[in-house]
Each structure stands twice: as C-alpha cells, then as structure tokens.
Amino acid sequence: MSLEWFDRVSAELQDSLESICEEYDQVGHLSIDKAAKHPRIEFFVETEEEREYFCSLFFDPHNNEFYIESFDLDLDLTSRTILEDIEDIIDVVHESFHDFLDDEDEYDYEFEDEDAIEYDLADDEDDIETYDVEWETPEVTAYIDEDEDIEISYKFGIIQETGDGILQRINRIKTIDNELIKDEFNFIFSKDEASTIIAMIASHMESLNSLE
C-alpha cells in the first residue's frame, strides 16, 4: 500500500485548478483528510454562514486509484467512477465546481472583485477565531503513524459567550516533500446534546474500524 500517488496529486491539484479556472482561483478551496481508511480531498466554497462542499475525491490505497462516488436514486445504489490520471481528476472537479455555482443562485459571487472576495472569505475561514474559547484540556494525541507521518489530536474547550462545548480535531500530515499540512475541524455542541453524543459513540464502538 502506497500513498505516493495521493501525495503527488494533492500537491499539484490546487495549483492546476487555479491556473485553468479564474472562478476557482478566487473562491475554490480544498481540504485533505489523509488519516481516513480511504484518504480523501474535499473541495468547497466558503460562504458567510458555512462551507459548501461541491466535490469529494477519494483514494483507494490498495488499488492505488482515485475515484468519486455517486448515488443512483432509481436503483438505490452507490457507484464509483475511477479516475485514471490527473487530467481526469481536474476535469471532474472543475465540472463539479461549475455545476455547484449554477445551482447556488442564492449566493452572489462577484468574480471581478477578487480582492474583496478573498477578504470576505478569509474573515470567516475559521469561525473559532471569533469566539472566546477557554480550553479545558491541552492538545491530546489520539493517533500517530510515524511511517506515514500522520498525527491526529484533539482538545476540548468551552465557548464563553454561549457555554457550548467545542471539540477541536487537528490533523497534521507531512508530505513526501517534507511539507507539513495542518487542518483543524471544530465541532460545537450544547450540554443537552453531550450525553446523547457520548451514548451513541459508546454503543457503536465495536462497529468502528481502527486506523491501523
């Protein structure tokens, strides 16, 4: 099992999309989850309220191939489309991006004013920065794979304005070019939700797969 092809595509994909598509260059983003059983690259547009995902690209490390999934409502089946080279990958993501923009009439993207767009998106890129969070725990390592240079850690805090809990997941991945990629994901929940979340996880622990 090798992630060399995944790393190569991950490193080149953003630059390739930006170079062929002015609209994507202005508002398109991607995030990488290398710690999943099938690593994935997710593409999204950041709005004032949330991230809007328009394409998920999966990688099968055993067969060394990228694929996307689609669901057939008539057959009630999920199908996979294998993408054999980076040109196929770029075409699929590019097409998905423009399909998304065509469907999102509620958002008004003014591509002519690139600086204004980048400012607005950057301002909301990480909503946690707008909160006053008191971290109750230090960053705790949950998983580490020294061979693949992957580390996953968590920390828990309280949002002072609302009293809600926040669980932050930090992914650190080192590429073959020795570049460190860091992603942060924040999950916010209330006291009323906490016991339900804990019970649901605890009752299904035996069904979960290990990352090993």
Q: What is the pTM of this model?
A: 0.47
- Greater model confidence, 36 or 161: 161
pLDDT, mean of residues 4-22: 85
State in words which class domain 127-207 has.
Answer: alpha beta
pLDDT per position as a tens digit, 45-86:
887 777 888 889 999 888 889 999 887 666 667 788 999 889
Query: Where are the chain's structural domains?
Result: 4-123, 127-207
Alpha carbons 146 and 32: distance in angstroms, whole number: 18
